[in-house]
Structure 1
Amino acid sequence: MRKFSVLIAGGGSTYTPGIVMMLLENQDKFPIRTLKFYDNDPERQDIIAKACEIIVKEKAPEIEFLATTDPEAAFTDVDFVMAHIRVGKYKMRELDEKIPLQHGVVGQETCGPGGIAYGMRSISGVLELVDYMERYSPNAWMLNYSNPAAIVAEATRRLCPNSKILNICDMPVAIESRLVEVLGLQSRKDMNVRYYGLNHFGWWTDIRDNEGNDLMPQLKKYVAENGYAVEGSVDNQHVDPSWDVTYRKAKDLYALDPETLPNTYLKYYYYPDYVVEHSDKNFTRANEVMAGRETQVFTACRQIVSNQTMEGSELEVDEHATYIVDLARALAYNTYERMLLIVKNNGAIRNFDHTAMVEIPCLVGANGPEPLVMGDIPQFQKGLMEQQVSVEKLVVEAWIEHSYQKLWQAMTLSRTVPSAKVAKELMDDLIEANKEYWPELH
């Protein structure tokens, strides 16, 4: 079986160790010959990389390991680039969340003004990675799960339409894993789903088991009462208190359209007033992550380096990240795996903008994704999606054209922002905070 060379772009991420451990556990399905890390922050990457090098040596010593900040060394001779970068790191995420809240607006990493600010930073970072990949390994595929995926996907559609980049998100995976627990099934692979929307903005319309039995009635009954909260859930990625609140709130999202099951992120668009009211302006999700996951992972990595073994480590395999292996295998082995990807609509949703980057099921083979037709969608979802996709397109146009006007329009159009006045005030604050990251707007 052919072995692959994999580059993790964002080697200093707190998610990297869990992904490395997941890759090592799936060597029988997706064998690796070389594992590389690339990051533009050498100090941050160094801690994670030293620990991961020990993990690789203990679990799969035959794999060659390299951590570097040199693009040529990183991107030369790779088959897959797995990208999860955060331009500006958690310091900027904290501002993305706190600045809108100061104006009484939703402060969230990928939704509303915070997501727009993050998108304006992420575009250049992801385009730089694509450029390196095409220069040094032109036949490689980039599997991008950097946020905000919707804006990044629109930017890559506009600016590098022929690039071998696939944008994918783990939120539907996490929700489907909870639905599996509700149903008492073994795995997400025991379900066939129909889903449509934009990234962090979608709905399940049909879920069946592999024998074709309709599972939606049972799921709808459960979600109407509990949302996606599952007692004793094995989900180890979304354990902070804020996630429990988010999963429970899905009950209220479902009530608005009981024909479908909603993505949890819709709470920011349906109930922005509720979100602001229940947000702590001084301790947001970014602070929760820095105090929790960030501290835990770096402490665990330092312990591994100190002990020179991962034995006794508290690091956990990122089980739900196996979707990354599924995607890589589908491309490498032409498996035609059915997966939710963010792809150009091109008529898959018949009554929606054909240039929009939509999140829908695709069959994935060696030539990339083949989107499945979802047909016409209802007026309610269509209206919401048209508004949101316009926000995303205007953000990308603002980045390309350095346009203050278009970014103001994007902010004003977001369902999370109450008026053009508020949009302008908080945008000016975000411009000031992002001076070293955004293009200069005029």
Structure 2
Amino acid sequence: MLENQDLKKGLKIATIGGGSSYTPEFVEGIIKRYKELPVRELWLVDVEAGKEKLEIVGNLAKRMVEKAGVPIDIHLTLNRREALRNADFVTTQLRVGLLAARAKDERIPLSHGFMGQETNGAGGLFKGLRTIPVILDIANEMQELCPNAWLINFTNPAGMVTEALARYSKHRKFLGLCNVPIGMENGVASILSIDKSRVRIDFAGLNHMVYGFNIWIDGENKTQEVMNKYIENSQSINMKNITAMEWDAEFIKSFKLMPCPYHKYYYKTKDMLKDELEKFAKGKTRAEEVIETEKELFELYKDTNLKEKPKQLEKRGGAYYSDAACNLISSIYNDKGDLQVVNTFNNGTVKDFPDEYIIEVTAKITKDGPIPYKFINEFPIQIKGLISQIKQFEILGAEAAVEGSYEKALLAMVTNPLIANDFEGHRLLDEMLEAHKEYLPNFYK
């Protein structure tokens, strides 16, 4: 916790990508935790292209704070360095190239007959290639302007981005965060018709490739009992951005772990690709759906009578990200020692990976950072190979992004199990490099 004099001053939080539609949820999270998390300044930062959205969201944030009666100053700026100076926490929720880039990430792979998804496969690779240099610039500025601040990243692909921070950033206080584990715990609570506070799952794996191992209800291990109910209701645990599909009961019984919704891309590839191609043929991808949802949300945000987070925000696939970020910040600040799921260094947690590799795992959250909760020694045989392959993809993607390496980008593309085709992967890489040329300066020096 901060010293008394800093406590009186209050905390400064800088949110990069402050014009995001998720920001009202983040503001709500800060407001409801104000007694334990005394934020004095919230700086919302964006780029020139996001200026209009920043002003709309920022004005809503000011109305929310005023209604709550808490002394939080909301600052809106395009000057990132000003926002970072002396910050205590920095959150990143940016989208390089905005939603137009996401649409390309989905449409171009689908035009080649491959999965079009913003964080998996070719789309995930290119979101990483665009995002990693920007995140590393932010981390470098933090080392100069707020060296003691924690960077909480929930920009996707969070696993690849956090891996890049681990390999290339001098700023060492960073964590990756995802809303998938929270969504899975909420889903279990819904299946059991109980309050979500009674559910906790031990998670381990990688971002968007995390598995549920032990399921605790009121502190008791109820894994088998819950898994039996899950088999009957597997379609109900899902994300807004993923088509709901039922898992094969015999597969789940044999698997003995709870897969996350994103695993459908790997264990139900044929069905998921068929679904995406059918939507693509009708001229609709998830990106277009999100663009429509965002238009609706920002029309709501403009209403000067709106002084709270609208319910419609939950239509977004990333709902609960921001609340998870507030929870994580509070636990670090207050040295709570509670268990949360983060992307952090392996540090001997599983012997499959070196200490310096990033994994997504349940961890004890302290003022000095996370301590992974060691409930397994190694990944079980049924998931070991796939996890290793995706880690290889993340590392190659991170190296390609920093070095501007065509060769490593090609290796990342072709070794991803959702591509796994050298000739077509090569052509797909070339087309996507050209389509995103504006946001890939390391490849076009």
Q: Common fold, TM-score beyond 0.5?
A: yes
Note closer, same or farther for the CA distance 1:162–1:18 as it changes in structure 2 (3 Å cut): closer
Q: Give the equivalent residue in structure 2 for 1:424.
A: 426
Q: Do the aligned residues in 1 keep the contact of 2:127 with 2:157 (CA within 8 Å)?
A: yes
Moved more, 77-86 or 89-98: 77-86
Note closer, same or farther for the CA distance 1:59–1:249 as it changes in structure 2 (3 Å cut): same
Q: Give the equivalent residue in structure 1 for 2:298.
A: 298
How far does residue 315 in structure 1 lie from its aligned partner after superposition? 6.4
Moved more, 140-149 or 342-351: 342-351
Q: Give the equivalent residue in structure 1 for 2:51.
A: 42
Q: Do the aligned residues in 2 keep the contact of 1:196 with 1:359 (CA within 8 Å)?
A: yes
* TM-superposition CA deviations, 1:274-326 (whole Å, max 9, x none): 2221112221111111112x01221011112xx5x528966669667432222
Q: Secondary structure at the match of 1:278?
A: helix
Q: Do the aligned residues in 1 keep the contact of 2:178 with 2:321 (CA within 8 Å)?
A: no
Give 2:76's match in structure 1, choosing from 67, 70, 78: 67
Name the CA distance, whole Å, in 2 between partners of 1:133 and 1:204. 34
Note closer, same or farther for the CA distance 1:211–1:45 as it changes in structure 2 (3 Å cut): closer
- TM-score norm. by structure 1 comes to 0.90
How far does residue 136 in structure 1 lie from its aligned partner after superposition? 1.7
How far does residue 228 in structure 1 lie from its aligned partner after superposition? 4.5
Q: Do the aligned residues in 1 keep the contact of 2:17 with 2:95 (CA within 8 Å)?
A: yes
Moved more, 262-271 or 147-156: 262-271
Q: Give the equivalent residue in structure 2 for 1:440.
A: 443
**Structural mapping, 1:147-166, within 5 Å:** 147-160=156-169, 162-166=171-175
Give the RMSD, CA atoms, in angstroms.
2.3
Q: Secondary structure at the match of 1:416?
A: coil
Q: Give the equivalent residue in structure 2 for 1:215.
A: 222
Name the CA distance, whole Å, in 1 between partners of 2:251 and 2:289. 27
Paired residues in the alignment total 426
- TM-score norm. by structure 2 comes to 0.90
Amino acid at match of 2:222: L
Give 1:173's match in structure 2, choosing from 170, 178, 182: 182
Name the CA distance, whole Å, in 2 between partners of 1:127 and 1:299. 33
How far does residue 61 in structure 1 lie from its aligned partner after superposition? 4.9
Name the CA distance, whole Å, in 1 between partners of 2:145 and 2:335. 24
Name the CA distance, whole Å, in 2 between partners of 1:372 and 1:170. 19
Amino acid at match of 2:390: Q
How far does residue 162 in structure 1 lie from its aligned partner after superposition? 4.4
Amino acid at match of 1:4: L
Name the CA distance, whole Å, in 2 between partners of 1:310 and 1:343. 36
Residue 258 in 1 paired to residue 261 in 2?
no
How far does residue 79 in structure 1 lie from its aligned partner after superposition? 1.1
Q: Secondary structure at the match of 2:303?
A: helix
Name the CA distance, whole Å, in 1 between partners of 2:207 and 2:370. 16
Amino acid at match of 1:409: L
How far does residue 397 in structure 1 lie from its aligned partner after superposition? 1.6
Amino acid at match of 1:191: V
**Structural mapping, 1:188-267, within 5 Å:** 188=197, 190-212=198-220, 214-229=221-236, 238-239=239-240, 243=242, 245-246=243-244, 248-250=245-247, 255=252, 257-267=254-264
How far does residue 55 in structure 1 lie from its aligned partner after superposition? 1.9
Residue 269 in 1 paired to residue 230 in 2?
no
Amino acid at match of 1:205: F
Q: Do the aligned residues in 2 keep the contact of 1:47 with 1:298 (CA within 8 Å)?
A: yes
Q: Do the aligned residues in 2 keep the contact of 1:200 with 1:263 (CA within 8 Å)?
A: yes
Q: Do the aligned residues in 2 keep the contact of 1:253 with 1:262 (CA within 8 Å)?
A: no
Residue 52 in 1 paired to residue 61 in 2?
yes
Give 1:389's match in structure 2, choosing from 388, 391, 397: 391
Identity across matched positions, percent = 27
Note closer, same or farther for the CA distance 1:119–1:312 as it changes in structure 2 (3 Å cut): closer
Note closer, same or farther for the CA distance 1:24–1:315 as it changes in structure 2 (3 Å cut): farther
Name the CA distance, whole Å, in 1 between partners of 2:219 and 2:310. 41
In structure 1, the gaps of 5 or more residues are none
Amino acid at match of 1:381: I
Q: Do the aligned residues in 2 keep the contact of 1:228 with 1:251 (CA within 8 Å)?
A: no
Q: Do the aligned residues in 1 keep the contact of 2:58 with 2:74 (CA within 8 Å)?
A: no
Q: Secondary structure at the match of 1:7?
A: strand
How far does residue 225 in structure 1 lie from its aligned partner after superposition? 2.1
Amino acid at match of 2:116: G
Amino acid at match of 1:142: L
Name the CA distance, whole Å, in 2 between partners of 1:219 and 1:229. 14
* TM-superposition CA deviations, 1:107-134 (whole Å, max 9, x none): 0010000000000011012112212222
Amino acid at match of 2:233: N
* TM-superposition CA deviations, 1:139-184 (whole Å, max 9, x none): 1111111111011011101101542111111111111111112223
Amino acid at match of 1:284: T
How far does residue 249 in structure 1 lie from its aligned partner after superposition? 3.6
How far does residue 17 in structure 1 lie from its aligned partner after superposition? 1.3
